[in-house]
Amino acid sequence: MSERLILSVDAMGGDNAPEMVLEGMELSLNKHPDTRFLLFGDEPRLTPLLALHAKVAAVTEVRHTPDSVKGTDKAAQALRSGRNSSMRLAINAVKDGDAHGIISAGNTGALMAMAKFVLKTLPGIDRPAIASYVPTNTGRSLMLDLGANIECDAENLVQFAVMGEVFARQVLGLEYPSVGILNVGAEDLKGKQSVKEAAAILQETDLPIKFYGFIEGDDITAGTVDVIVTDGFTGNVALKTAEGTAKLFGTFLKDALTSSPVSTLGALLARPALNRLKMRMDPRRYNGAMLLGLNGICVKSHGGTDALGFSNAIGVTADLITTAVNESIKADYARLHEGEPTQHSEQTI
Amino acid sequence: MSERLILSVDAMGGDNAPEMVLEGMELSLNKHPDTRFLLFGDEPRLTPLLALHAKVAAVTEVRHTPDSVKGTDKAAQALRSGRNSSMRLAINAVKDGDAHGIISAGNTGALMAMAKFVLKTLPGIDRPAIASYVPTNTGRSLMLDLGANIECDAENLVQFAVMGEVFARQVLGLEYPSVGILNVGAEDLKGKQSVKEAAAILQETDLPIKFYGFIEGDDITAGTVDVIVTDGFTGNVALKTAEGTAKLFGTFLKDALTSSPVSTLGALLARPALNRLKMRMDPRRYNGAMLLGLNGICVKSHGGTDALGFSNAIGVTADLITTAVNESIKADYARLHEGEPTQHSEQTI
């Protein structure tokens, strides 16, 4: 593989694909000008679009794929019959060493199933997890799992903690990131059996994980810990509840500010500030969910996102590659079972 | 029991008890002037406070209790050794027919354990659930369970659905309230076994429950359904995540509006509107979690609330009593097992 970042992109995934995908690629080139793309999709549709995006066309190789995975396809079905889909062939490119990572805004279940099947999990990791940034009072934290694993045992949660901690260290550049497990109370005796067992393991581990203990739902946005560990069911509900609440707050704010001529004038004066607020809560800023624990870099963009959101997902992919997260997860996980203290890795590609 | 509403109040529960409790009682008398109170707590502390609240004193009978449950007490411990606590004796008053309902801002676990032990569950209900209002885009919805039952099977979730539906009909006055089960996707095939089984039972029931199907986290605040059914672990995390997100949004809004002199001026002009927004998102408005499924009315106020929040919890208690929710839950649940269509009950006390 060359020194240059080569990203494999599923052109056909997402509500507004492939137009949105190409626009997102163009935006991302501003931040990561050295990127090259392998673009998988329907060539007759992509060729005229590339003509509109000369900057993208200059660094992109199109690979025609006859099929694409639909949003309504079941994961197992996509895995069986999607062997020639843009998603599957984009993943294969990572496996084959043609690209350093893959991004898709397509069907999450299908992406998870295909990526796990093609790339396999890292040694010691039973199940990959979906991880994403969440905005907090102090910046941002990483939360996982967000829906890949509906039911998790203690060992799964411990694996998520190891992966999340490595991520926060390598990608976020935190020296000693803190890790908390989401629970219904801060006391040791509360909660599900699986979270209690996972906490006990993390309290005794020799890994240099700064285990904070249990956190509650309101600790997520408070920024109490750098890494929030939970099962995929709870994580998915919590993330979507937070999105819904932010949206409700936005609606209420708009209602309030248009409720009288004076408040409308006030809102007009405060518009730059309100735009800044909107920007801080913008879900597109946090777009790009990482499938951690795979033997290869795979990032899922929100299906309904726009070009800006997609470009952020590309940025997340680039970060994962350049910080060599997978190498560190492998090393730390091996050490967890050997009981040896870890060395903080400095590897990059 | 007289026609007048008689409420049993735990004077010693909550961070700012007993002062906050008495102030809350005074506020509630504006809305419910016909209430009488039985006030359980440390008489030497309560007597001088009642002297400051003449309106409350006029309708209150103090019953001295030597002990009180601490916030840090374990539920089992409180149940064993709290027989003379203000919380326990306040619950006993409902059991003995001296009061129509009980409110406490004390230790949730202890209140749940004591109320279940003393009042018992309604016929057909295995486990009581904690239910509360949540603010939505269209008004408010009812969500349960919020933490009483960490792990729930399908039958528990069905019981929550029945209780929640009756509540929405009787207390919120909705003719055909819709009920949804919180899940990670709207499709029938997604999610945990327990939620899939519960959905199957609700789809086939002869009860006139308008079962919407599965909802996701962002549907909570969107007001997609009137009643949101979930297990106590997920419900507790979702509720606290929503609280945390609202708080984060508030902080970001404040930051934005004080970021420049012009936006500060704008905020000043929009202040009445912003205060209205604050009021709409005020958690005190939604204070008063109901322990549904008990053979008696029991309401838990947030421990950290103030007088306004406590007065709302008293209002919730009054609503539960005057709308005879428990009678209807009993009737509907009996019909669920007989398979007979229900008649909408009109009973009130």
A250-290 pLDDT, tens digit per residue, is: 888 888 888 888 888 888 888 888 888 888 878 788 888 99
Nearest chain B residue (CA) to A139: B248
pLDDT at B340 over 60: no
Judgement on whether residues A58 and A6 belong to the same structural domain of the protein: yes
CA atoms within 13 A on the CB side of B305: 28
What's the pLDDT score for residue B349? 37
Size of interface A-B (CB pairs under 8 A): 198
Closest partner residue to A218 (CB to CB) among B151, B218, B243 is B243
Contact across the interface for A252 and B277, Cβ inside 8 Å: yes
C-alpha distance from A69 to closest chain B C-alpha (Å): 17
Tokens 């393991």 map to which residue?
A201
Report the percentage of chain A scoring pLDDT > 90. Answer: 66
What is the average per-residue pLDDT within B297-301?
A: 95
- What pLDDT does residue B23 have? 97
Express each pLDDT in B96-146 by its tens digit. 999 999 999 999 999 999 999 999 999 888 899 999 999 999 899 999 999
At residue A325, the pLDDT reads 78
Q: Choose the weakest-confidence range: B52-66, B118-132, B254-268.
A: B254-268
CB atoms within 10 A of CB B151: 13
Please give the pLDDT value at position B263: 86
Q: Tell me the shortest Cα–Cα distance from B6 to chain A, in angstroms.
A: 33
Give the pLDDT of residue B343: 46
Residue A347: inside a domain, yes or no? Answer: no
Contacts of A255 in chain B (CB under 8 A): 277
Q: Is B302 part of any domain? A: yes
B346 domain residue, yes or no: no
pLDDT, position B309: 94
Within 13 A of A75's CA, how many CA atoms are on the CB side? 14
The whole-number pLDDT of residue A347 equals: 40
Residues 6+ away with beta carbon under 8 Å from A81: none
How many whole angstroms separate alpha carbon B304 and alpha carbon B313? 13
**What is the per-residue pLDDT for B212?**
96
- Of A244, A252, A284, nearest to B218 (Cα)? A244
Which pLDDT band, with edges at 50, 70 and 90, does A188 fall under?
Answer: low
Calculate mean pLDDT across residues A315-330.
Answer: 86
Task: Check residue B160 and give its pLDDT.
Answer: 96
pLDDT value, residue A173: 87
With contact defined as beta carbons under 8 Å apart, do B181 and B229 qualify? yes
Q: Do B311 and B165 belong together in one domain?
A: no
Are B213 and B309 in a shared domain? no
Quick check: B253 and A257 CB within 8 A?
Answer: no
Pairing of strands A297-300, A289-292: antiparallel
Tokens 């209780």 found at: B163
Can you name the residues that pair with A215 across neighbouring β-strands? Answer: A182
Residues B67 and B190 in one domain: no
User: Mean pLDDT, to the nearest integer, of A6-35?
Assistant: 95
H helices, E strands: number in chain B: 14, 11
Strand (E) or helix (H) holding B92 = helix B86-95
Q: What mean pLDDT is reported for chain B?
A: 90
Pair A28, A80: CB distance under 8 Å: no
CA distance B151 to A208: 32
Q: Which residue of B has its CA nearest to A266?
A: B266
**Closest CA–CA distance from residue A135 to any residue of chain B (Å):** 9
Q: Does A338 reside within a domain?
A: no
pLDDT above 50 (res B348): no
Any domain includes A279: yes
Helix count and strand count (H, E) for chain A: 14, 11
How much is the pLDDT for B285?
82
Domain assignment present for residue B348? The answer is no
* Concatenated DSSP letters of A212-228: EEEE-HHHHHHT--SEE
When divided into structural domains, chain A yields a total of 2
More confident call, B319 vs B25: B25
Say if the Cβ atoms of B256 and A274 lie within 8 Å.
yes
* pLDDT reported for residue A229: 98
Residue carrying structure tokens 């109901």: B290
Q: Residues A255, B239, B321, B120: what is their CA dihedral angle, to the nearest 10 degrees?
A: 170
User: In terms of domains, do A91 and A169 share one?
Assistant: no
pLDDT at residue B347 greater than cutoff 50? no
CA distance linking residue B289 with residue B68, whole number of Å: 21
Question: Which pLDDT belongs to residue B280?
Answer: 80
pLDDT at residue A336, as a whole number:
63
- State which residues form the domain around B197: 126-289
We report the CATH number of the domain holding residue A150 as 3.40.718.10
Phi–psi pair at B37, nearest 5 degrees: -120, 140
- Let me know: does B297 contact B320? Beta carbons within 8 Å: yes
Backbone torsion region of residue A256, taken as left when φ is above 0, otherwise alpha when ψ lies between -120 and 50, otherwise beta: alpha
Q: pLDDT value at position B54?
A: 95
ipTM of this complex prediction, to 2 decimal places: 0.87
Please check the confidence at residue B293 and state whether its pLDDT lies above 60: yes
Q: Which residues in chain A have Cβ-Cβ distances shorter than 8 Å to B243?
A: 217-218
Token code pair at residue B143: 């969500």
Question: Which residues are bridge partners to A214 per DSSP?
Answer: A181
Residues B110, B130, single domain; the answer is no
Per-residue confidence (pLDDT) for residue A90, from 0 to 100: 98
A132 and A154 co-located in one domain:
yes
pLDDT at A220 over 80: yes
B184 and A238: CB-CB below 8 Å? no
Tell me what percent of chain A is helix, strand and coil, each rounded to the nearest 5: 50, 15, 35
Distance CA B101, CA B288 (A): 13
The residue with tokens 């963009």 is A301
The partner residue sitting opposite B244, judged by closest CB among A220, A248, A267, is: A220
Specify whether A275 is located in the same domain as A141: yes
pLDDT score for A44:
97
DSSP-derived 3-state class of residue A64: strand
Which residues of B fall within a CB distance of 8 Å from A232? 184
Considering the domain architecture, whether residues A177 and A59 belong to the same structural domain is answered as no
Please check whether residues A84 and A218 belong to one and the same domain: no
- Residue B3: per-residue pLDDT: 63
CB-CB neighbors (< 8 A) of A267 in chain B = 266, 270
Cα–Cα distance measured from residue A147 to residue A233, given in angstroms and rounded to the nearest whole number: 6
> Is B281's CB within 8 Å of A249's CB?
yes
Average pLDDT of chain A, as a whole number: 90
- The partner residue sitting opposite A245, judged by closest CB among B74, B236, B245, is B245
- A335-341, long-range: CB within 8 Å, 24+ apart, which pairs? A335/A206, A335/A207, A336/A124, A336/A158, A336/A162, A336/A205, A336/A206, A336/A207, A337/A124, A339/A206, A340/A206, A341/A206, A341/A207, A341/A208
Q: B301 pLDDT exceeds 70?
A: yes
Residues of B with Cβ-Cβ distance to A250 under 8 angstroms: 249
Angle between helix B325-338 and helix B154-170 axes, rounded to 10 deg: 130
What pLDDT, in 10s, does the model give residues B164-214? 998 898 888 899 999 999 999 766 667 899 999 999 999 998 777 899 999
Higher pLDDT, B66 or B39: B39
A1: pLDDT confidence band, cut at 50, 70 and 90?
Answer: very low
Please tell me whether residues A191 and A204 are part of one structural domain.
Answer: yes
Phi, psi of A252 (to 5 degrees): -60, -40
Strand partners, B178: B210
Residues A263, B244: C-beta atoms closer than 8 Å:
no
Distance CA(B9)–CA(B68), nearest Å, equals 13
Least CB–CB distance from B248: residue in A137, A262, A268: A137
A116/A130 same-domain check: no
So what's the pLDDT on residue B296? 94
Average pLDDT over residues A108-119: 94
